[in-house]
Amino acid sequence: MSYLEDLIVDIDEGERSRVRVTPDGRHAYEAKFTFTQKGFEMLRQGYLCINCFQDLRPDGAFPEECPMCAFPVRDRQLEHLGISFVGEEQLGSRLSLSDEMSRMGDLWLPGS
Ligand SMILES: [Zn+2]
């Protein structure tokens, strides 16, 4: 799975992981994956299984089913990507403290 080193920046299975509630009411903890631009493009273009991260390039984009996990890539990949995609994070450019404070000020005004 060494090709993934190029595609995934970070796998965070710690407390920042997202919690998903399954249809039957159980809580499932999902690791949060951070993809490189290249990795995200591969997901979007159907060259990487969103379920098991199988490299789909030998099969061509959007195979009907993932050869590894049988995920219905053609039907579900983009839908799944839309659900799972929580936004782009700019790595290494965190808000400065004063930006953070002024942003919080919009939400919480002490003494007002
Ligand atoms: Zn798969």
Q: If the chain, 112 residues long, is cut into consecutive pieces of 10 residues, what is the mean pLDDT of each piece?
A: 80 63 69 84 93 93 96 92 71 57 54 52
Tokens 């060259």 belong to 47
Strand positions, DSSP E, 13-111: 18-21, 27-30, 32-35
Distance from residue 66's CA to the centre of ligand 1 (Å):
5
Whole-number pLDDT of residue 91: 60
CA distance 71 to 65: 5
CA atoms within 13 A on the CB side of 95: 8
Full residue range of the structural domain in which residue 101 is found: 2-107
Distance from residue 71's CA to the centre of ligand 1 (Å):
5
Residue 22 placed within a domain: yes
Distance from residue 52's CA to the centre of ligand 1 (Å):
4
Name the 3-class secondary structure at 104: helix
Distance from residue 51's CA to the centre of ligand 1 (Å):
5
Residue 87 placed within a domain: yes
Q: How many domains does the chain have?
A: 1
CA distance 19 to 54: 23
Name the 3-class secondary structure at 100: helix
Distance from residue 24's CA to the centre of ligand 1 (Å):
23
Residue 60 placed within a domain: yes
Is the pTM above the cut of 0.85? no
Residue 112 placed within a domain: no
CA distance 38 to 44: 10
Residue 93 placed within a domain: yes
Residue 81 placed within a domain: yes
